[in-house]
Chains A and B, each alone.
Chain A
Amino acid sequence: MDMALPIVNATTAALARVSAAFNAPLARAVVFGVHIDGHLVVEGLLIAVIVFQLSRKSYKPPKKPLSEKEVDELCDEWEPEPLCPPVKERSHIDPAILESAAGPHTTIEGKEVVNFASANYLGLIGNEKLIDSCVGSLEKYGVGSCGPRGFYGTIDVHLDCEAKIANFLGTPDSILYSYGISTIFSVIPAFCKKGDIIVADEGVHWAVQNGLYLSRSTVVYFKHNDMASLASTLEKLTRGNKRTEKIRRYIVVESIYQNSGQIAPLDEIVKLKEKYLFRVILEESHSFGVLGKSGRGLAEHYGVPIDKIDIITAGMGNALATDGGFCTGSARVVDHQRLSSAGYVFSASLPPYLASAAVSAVNYLEENPSVLANLRSNVALLHTG
């Protein structure tokens, strides 16, 4: 308490002096007939300082672009990585060199071996009728077609082949591609653009993954061939999400998965698709000509009407023993691809002899449905044995 009193006295004295200063006669000057109090001077000074600071440019370090000499030095210093990684001796794959057709028996280095590596499901390699129709085409049309479909690369065998496949499957129209894997990775980007949603199986093979990547849509994977996982993914995506109702939604599955050999349960997929309003893109490379009573693929196998599946693609390099691929669906689906599918418009068309081989292969399948029974008994034998 003793110290407080002198401090209080000192503070009051100081305050008195300050107020005296403010009330000093100088402060009460009259400028142009306006009374100016002392505090106005201080406030005016403060405002002047603030305005001065605001009006100054902020400090930016000056930009120094690189001089020519510096750029030269950088370019000289820069060392690129080698174009390919060095060869590791251990990772040497030496594919076997076949010396005869890749049929059920083939010759490698003079020995006759049984061929379990080729996807020759219907045994059409070496079929007489196929080879005869190819020879006929070769003599009439030569080997290549020398042009994309839009510029005189459309040969009448192509149109016949498309009509035949559409007829066989029961769809309005189909479109031919010149290479098996380019089918799927041209179809997906032709329909799915940025901002769409695609739900795809985890185990789809490389070409499908490439197509998904090229389409730039949002891809959500579900567990391999697991319908419960698919249902929950679809539910998660559509529930409460108003936006998903306005954008295009697709499900991409394969009928027989190349990487695992499992068959996709199409009837459940179609039920889910109708419930959640998605479109189905079905990749049937390994099941066309194999599944179903007459070889018409997965839809026949499960008894699902073919027009419930929006887009079916398949490569013909498996059961049909030729090369190339096709895509079917409704007429509008097929027409859209004729103008906007990259692998169709910008690339040479399928060689005509392969198209005629496809036609005779489908003919053969129609006339001899017993090959399917053979195939199935062989498969059963291998499974049980």
Chain B
Amino acid sequence: SDCFGRPIASAPDAWFDVVERHSNDGNKTLQRTTKTSKCLNLGSYNYLGFAAADEYCTPRVIESLKKYSASTCSARVDGGNTKLHTELEELVARFVGKPAAILFGMGYVTNSAIIPILIGKGGLIVSDSLNHISIVNGARGSGATVRVFQHNNPAHLEDVLREQIAGGQPRTHRPWKKIIVIVEGIYSMEGELCNLPEIMAVCKKYKAYTYLDEAHSIGAVGKTGRGVCELLGVDPADVDIMMGTFTKSFGSCGGYIAASKEIIHHLKHACPAHIYATSMSPPAVQQVISAIKVVLGEDGSNRGAKKLAQIRENSNFFRSELQKMGFEVLGDNDSPVMPIMLYNPAKIPAFSRECLRQNVAVVTVAFPATPLLLARARICISASQSREDLIKGLEVISKVGDLIGIKYFPVEQEKVASVDKLKKLE
């Protein structure tokens, strides 16, 4: 249990301070010490590097904090709506490519509260088998029938849809009121991209609505950071509802939904999470506004474009090097999330502790987030990591991998030599 919940004492940037903990009773309870060690951060969701104080964003955030204070203490409709909120909604809608958007204070709540509003009893939800638990909770809470299709398999989705439309509602066989298909842009435990064009084609053919959860992909993939739609060439107007969070790429908190004007209007008046919950904290809103402006290049510099190029380069480099070293790495190219398979649950603490000892902080995931025998270590690449950081990370992981024996694939010897040459050049 000392592998989870490690406290940090600085911003979750490329290098951060991990607080050391020691335990007197065999890791049952852990006490903090005042010592910290600087480690390379390969675990936090910091895709574009906005996690730490940023030269453009932070002064504006502090200004908005002084103007609007840390919280609005009320729900959006009662008096929590500020100019910043409306500005951000318009900006998000423009960024994603949809007519309108609505904000929420937390990503998890967004999914759990929206799905019951859109569909109720008499509807059908078809969701990918590896969807996040917030989607599962929302689907369960809506009262609609839920069916699962095999991960990223459009053929199976088509089979499920045909069977369900022909069969109708269970027991009464009346036709379904509506069907929503829910997929994610990048799956956080696999690092894979969704097979969006084909799934969209299937949904269009069978007149099902699509809901795309871009929590990990907005801002991180795509030429201008607009997410999976841009990367795979899908027109955002085809996807009915696009959802995303600001926690990962934009270094803030909260979630959004972007859809057509009628749907957003309906959500604003019917969604309890909007009507009863405290609105998003104004400095967090300002952080997202500034971050999106940087990404779009509207702050007058090309830092946004540089960050996007950096993260793409970093992910591809890291993934190819890991594969050359013989690790089993999942995920598609261009995806900043890469799980390294460990398989054996006993190797999880070994990997985690050894890496920490050598000042590299990684995240290990086990049951129940993944199946019992498919434990993995998940690396999240960030735009704020430089090439040297990545090489150091690779070295440490390679050493630890040798020690633990997780290099399941044969190592390509000559490619390893070229990595050494690269180091010497730098």
Q: Which residues of B lie under 8 Å from residue A96 when comparing CB positions?
A: 79, 81
The reply to whether A321 and B70 form a contact with Cβ atoms under 8 Å apart is yes
The verdict on B25 contacting chain A, using a C-beta distance below 8 Å, is no
The reply to whether B80 and A102 form a contact with Cβ atoms under 8 Å apart is yes
- Shortest beta-carbon distance, A120 to chain B, in Å? 5
Q: What separation, in Å, do the CA atoms of A298 and B237 have in the docked complex?
A: 51
Which residue in chain A gives the minimum CB-CB distance to B9?
A156
Which stretch (A21-29, A263-271, A347-355, A377-385) binds chain B? A347-355
Q: Which residues of B lie under 8 Å from residue A66 when comparing CB positions?
A: 166
The reply to whether A118 and B72 form a contact with Cβ atoms under 8 Å apart is yes
Within 8 Å by CB of B247, from A78, A87, A348, lies: A348
The reply to whether B269 and A317 form a contact with Cβ atoms under 8 Å apart is no
Which residue in chain B gives the minimum CB-CB distance to A182?
B109
B residues with a Cβ closer than 8 A to A are 4-13, 16, 18-19, 32, 41, 43-46, 50-54, 57-58, 61-62, 65-74, 76-83, 86, 105-109, 112, 118, 132-134, 137, 140-141, 161-162, 165-166, 175-180, 206-209, 240-241, 245-248, 250-253, 262-263, 265-269, 272-273, 276-278, 281, 283-284, 287, 361, 363
The verdict on A32 contacting chain B, using a C-beta distance below 8 Å, is no
Within 8 Å by CB of A144, from B72, B206, B252, lies: B252
Q: Which residues of A lie under 8 Å from residue B79 when comparing CB positions?
A: 95-96, 98, 102, 106, 115, 117-118
Q: Which residues of A lie under 8 Å from residue B245 when comparing CB positions?
A: 348
Ranked nearest first, the 4 interchain pairs of A and B with the lowest CB-CB distance are A117-B79, A317-B278, A84-B266, A179-B106
The reply to whether B71 and A338 form a contact with Cβ atoms under 8 Å apart is no
Q: What separation, in Å, do the CA atoms of A207 and B253 have in the docked complex?
A: 20
CB-defined A-B contacts under 8 Å, sample of 17: A70-B166, A75-B165, A81-B178, A84-B118, A117-B74, A131-B69, A135-B66, A138-B62, A141-B11, A143-B283, A144-B252, A147-B44, A155-B7, A206-B276, A347-B106, A348-B45, A351-B281
The reply to whether A125 and B73 form a contact with Cβ atoms under 8 Å apart is yes
The reply to whether A101 and B67 form a contact with Cβ atoms under 8 Å apart is yes
Q: Which residues of A lie under 8 Å from residue B207 when comparing CB positions?
A: 78-80
The verdict on A306 contacting chain B, using a C-beta distance below 8 Å, is no
Q: Majority SS of interface residues in chain A?
A: loop
Q: Given A95-B77, A323-B278, do A151 and B44 touch, yes or no (CB 8 Å)?
A: yes
The reply to whether A151 and B251 form a contact with Cβ atoms under 8 Å apart is no
Q: Which residues of B lie under 8 Å from residue A207 when comparing CB positions?
A: 272, 276-277
Seed contacts A138-B65, A354-B281; 8 additional CB < 8 Å A-B pairs: A75-B206, A79-B207, A84-B267, A101-B68, A149-B5, A153-B44, A185-B112, A207-B277
Q: Majority SS of interface residues in chain B?
A: mixed
The reply to whether A97 and B177 form a contact with Cβ atoms under 8 Å apart is no
Q: What separation, in Å, do the CA atoms of A350 and B67 have in the docked complex?
A: 21
Q: Which residues of B lie under 8 Å from residue A181 when comparing CB positions?
A: 109, 273, 276-278
Within 8 Å by CB of B73, from A95, A102, A141, lies: A102
Q: Which residues of B lie under 8 Å from residue A120 when comparing CB positions?
A: 73-74
The verdict on A213 contacting chain B, using a C-beta distance below 8 Å, is yes
Q: Which residues of B lie under 8 Å from residue A119 when comparing CB positions?
A: 73-74
Q: Which residues of B lie under 8 Å from residue A214 when comparing CB positions?
A: 137, 140-141
Q: Which of A66, A97, A149 has the most CB of B within 10 A?
A: A97
The reply to whether A134 and B65 form a contact with Cβ atoms under 8 Å apart is yes
Q: What separation, in Å, do the CA atoms of A369 and B10 have in the docked complex?
A: 33
Q: Which residues of B lie under 8 Å from residue A213 when comparing CB positions?
A: 141
The reply to whether A146 and B278 form a contact with Cβ atoms under 8 Å apart is no
- Shortest beta-carbon distance, B127 to chain A, in Å? 16
- Shortest beta-carbon distance, A364 to chain B, in Å? 13
Q: Which residues of B lie under 8 Å from residue A153 when comparing CB positions?
A: 12, 44
- Shortest beta-carbon distance, B130 to chain A, in Å? 14
Q: Which residues of B lie under 8 Å from residue A258 when comparing CB positions?
A: 276
- Shortest beta-carbon distance, A79 to chain B, in Å? 7
Q: What separation, in Å, do the CA atoms of A334 and B265 have in the docked complex?
A: 39
Within 8 Å by CB of B252, from A81, A140, A206, A351, lies: A351
Q: Which residues of A lie under 8 Å from residue B246 when comparing CB positions?
A: 144
Within 8 Å by CB of B54, from A118, A142, A185, lies: A142
Q: What separation, in Å, do the CA atoms of A178 and B8 have in the docked complex?
A: 17
Q: Which residues of A lie under 8 Å from residue B251 when comparing CB positions?
A: 142-144, 146
Q: What separation, in Å, do the CA atoms of A126 and B69 have in the docked complex?
A: 6
- Shortest beta-carbon distance, B194 to chain A, in Å? 20
Q: Which residues of A lie under 8 Å from residue B140 when comparing CB positions?
A: 214
The reply to whether A151 and B108 form a contact with Cβ atoms under 8 Å apart is no
The reply to whether A91 and B269 form a contact with Cβ atoms under 8 Å apart is yes
Q: What separation, in Å, do the CA atoms of A98 and B253 have in the docked complex?
A: 21
Q: What separation, in Å, do the CA atoms of A342 and B134 have in the docked complex?
A: 8
- Shortest beta-carbon distance, A300 to chain B, in Å? 22
Q: Which residues of A lie under 8 Å from residue B45 when comparing CB positions?
A: 146-147, 348
Q: Which residues of A lie under 8 Å from residue B161 when comparing CB positions?
A: 75
Within 8 Å by CB of B240, from A83, A140, A141, A142, lies: A83
Q: What separation, in Å, do the CA atoms of A147 and B51 have in the docked complex?
A: 10
Q: Which residues of A lie under 8 Å from residue B69 when comparing CB positions?
A: 101-103, 125-126, 130-131, 321
Q: Which residues of A lie under 8 Å from residue B53 when comparing CB positions?
A: 138-140, 142
The verdict on A302 contacting chain B, using a C-beta distance below 8 Å, is no
Q: What separation, in Å, do the CA atoms of A98 and B74 have in the docked complex?
A: 12
How would residues 299 to 343 of chain A score, 1 for a CB under 8 Å from any chain B CB and 0 otherwise? Answer: 000000000000000010110011100000000000000100011
The verdict on A210 contacting chain B, using a C-beta distance below 8 Å, is yes
The verdict on A365 contacting chain B, using a C-beta distance below 8 Å, is no
The reply to whether A152 and B43 form a contact with Cβ atoms under 8 Å apart is yes
- Shortest beta-carbon distance, A148 to chain B, in Å? 9
Q: Which residues of A lie under 8 Å from residue B265 when comparing CB positions?
A: 84, 87
The reply to whether B5 and A142 form a contact with Cβ atoms under 8 Å apart is no
The verdict on A145 contacting chain B, using a C-beta distance below 8 Å, is yes
Q: What separation, in Å, do the CA atoms of A315 and B73 have in the docked complex?
A: 10
